[in-house]
Amino acid sequence: MKPWPPPPIQQFERLKVTDGLLINAQRWQLAHQYHRHYHNAYYQSLHQPGIVCGLEVRITSAPAEVTAKFRDDRWVEIQPGIGIDLFGNFIVVPKAETYRIASEVATEEPLMVYLVARFRDPDELKTRRTDERVTETFRIDEKTTPPSQGDVELCRILLKPGKVQLENPKDVFFPSYNNLDLRYRLQAQSRPQAIVQVAAYKKPVVSAQEFGSLMIPVRDDSEQNRIVSNLTYLLQSVAGLYPHLQGSDEIGQLTLQPTDGENVLEYDLIFLSDRQWQSLNDPEIELLRKYVESGGVLLIEASTQGTAIEELTNVKQELDKAIADIGDDLQLWGQRQELEAEREAIATDLAKEISNITQLFQDLTSAWETPLESLEQLNRNHPLRTKPFLFSALPSINQQPIQLLIGGGIIVIIGSLSSAWGLDENLSVSRETIRTAQEMGINILHYAWRRRQLMGSQRLGDTMSSISDQPQSSKRTARDRLFDQLADDQPSKPSKPSRRDDLFDKLS
């Protein structure tokens, strides 16, 4: 969804009518302009542009009256219909209109062409007609840039280099080159309460170089593509699950260089993985700190895959299953007590591992004066738990319960919540898990939007100052220690492993 701008902030002026007032053309225009401007501001405040009815686009042959030079396979026909632009102006096409796509592909790369309709104000047209009545008209145009504020998109076409022959797509959901793409036609409808802008961190391109024992690798785009894909799935789910909020059409990608100082303000939420956070330097962290102070939300996801937390959780689940299988069998009561004792020990170790990670994040954010707290420790009516979806317990992804740490504009997810926002490679995640994860994600988006709205722009001028002179620290920080622990290929073993193995041997 495109973030359509609100109406301009300006007062309305209307004609003051008194007895004996002489009406001339200027005063008449003033009276009517007031109503037009009022209507435009009203529509722009509560609605968004789009197609009301008709305006279908189909491929047609060249009209008989055109010269042979233009009798090719580039012609389309726009059917009669009504549209309405951002400002509330009606675009009425009373009869079918033929149009030739004239854009040429000048490079070896395909060219996206947008076919749009625009309102034409007769007062702005240069005409010598002196009729008492004028007709509000329209214009059909093609553009090589995305539609602007006054445009209503009718279709788009991805032109392929070489000879252009327009065709209907074989699959309307997946059009190809030179096909009419009708997927982005917007219907006129109510404006959502907000459009959430989300960005992901994109590490600048580096080359593989060796500095002593330190190797700096070439950027791996696989993780970046996965993050963008998961965020896209989440934003696409917003319109269906919570229509009052909608996601932007694209996921922004920020390198967090000094030139991004103003760009970060466009986004309500910035997402980073634990790996990406570990790779940040001090100027990048300082930019994020100022972003959070300005009202933005930083979402960091620390995966537990390959860590002690994952192993301990799996062991605890096995113990839970074994205890459930024993049930109330008195003959196995001794084994049940041993398993329960082992489960308590595992739960203690698991809580300790989570506490260690939590403490490391606490050390990390102490300089930002945003201490992190677990969602369980916060008010039970905290917006992340209640708005817009109600959560008594946090979701479990791949049988691994997630943890949420919140400190002002920083949210830390311990677990792989984002992996369940969309489709996994094996299509193995259940619909219930996906829907629950998406609802939790929408709560996070709603929190980010609402926090930014409440904080307003009171501190933007102070917080987004230049950071180009910030020194780069060479010391290892708590952040480095945290991600060393998360990335450890040899996770710590749960307590009393030999005893646990003996218990499982007895059960088997």
* pLDDT per position as a tens digit, 179-230: 999 999 999 988 888 889 999 988 765 544 444 444 444 455 677 888 888 9
How distant, in Å, are the alpha carbons of 8, 34, 450 from that of 27? 23, 11, 44
The mean per-residue pLDDT over the stretch 422-449 comes to: 89
Look up the pTM and report it: 0.74
* CATH architecture group of domain 194-303+370-473: 3-Layer(aba) Sandwich (3.40)
pLDDT value, residue 500: 45
Which residues are CB-contacts of 34 (< 8 A; sequence separation ≥ 6)? 12, 13, 14, 15
Which has the closest alpha carbon to 50: 146, 184, 144?
A: 184
In this predicted structure, which of 73-87, 157-171, 334-348, 371-385 has the lowest mean pLDDT? 334-348
292: left (phi over 0), alpha (psi -120 to 50) or beta: alpha
Q: Which residues on adjacent β-strands are paired with residue 300?
A: 272, 412
Cα angle for residues 353, 356, 358 (degrees, 5° grid): 110
Cβ atoms of residues 434 and 421 within 8 Å? yes
Q: How many CB atoms lie within 10 A of CB 15?
A: 16
In this predicted structure, which of 63-72, 165-174, 241-250, 319-328 has the lowest mean pLDDT? 319-328
Cis, bond preceding 388 (omega within 30 deg of 0): yes
Residues in the chain: 508
* pLDDT per position as a tens digit, 441-496: 999 999 999 999 888 755 544 544 544 444 444 445 545 554 455 455 444 444 44
- Residue 246: its H or E element: strand 245-247
Of 438 and 211, the structure prediction assigns the larger pLDDT to: 438
- Domain ranges in the chain? 29-127+135-190, 194-303+370-473
Write out the two tokens for 38: 């009022």
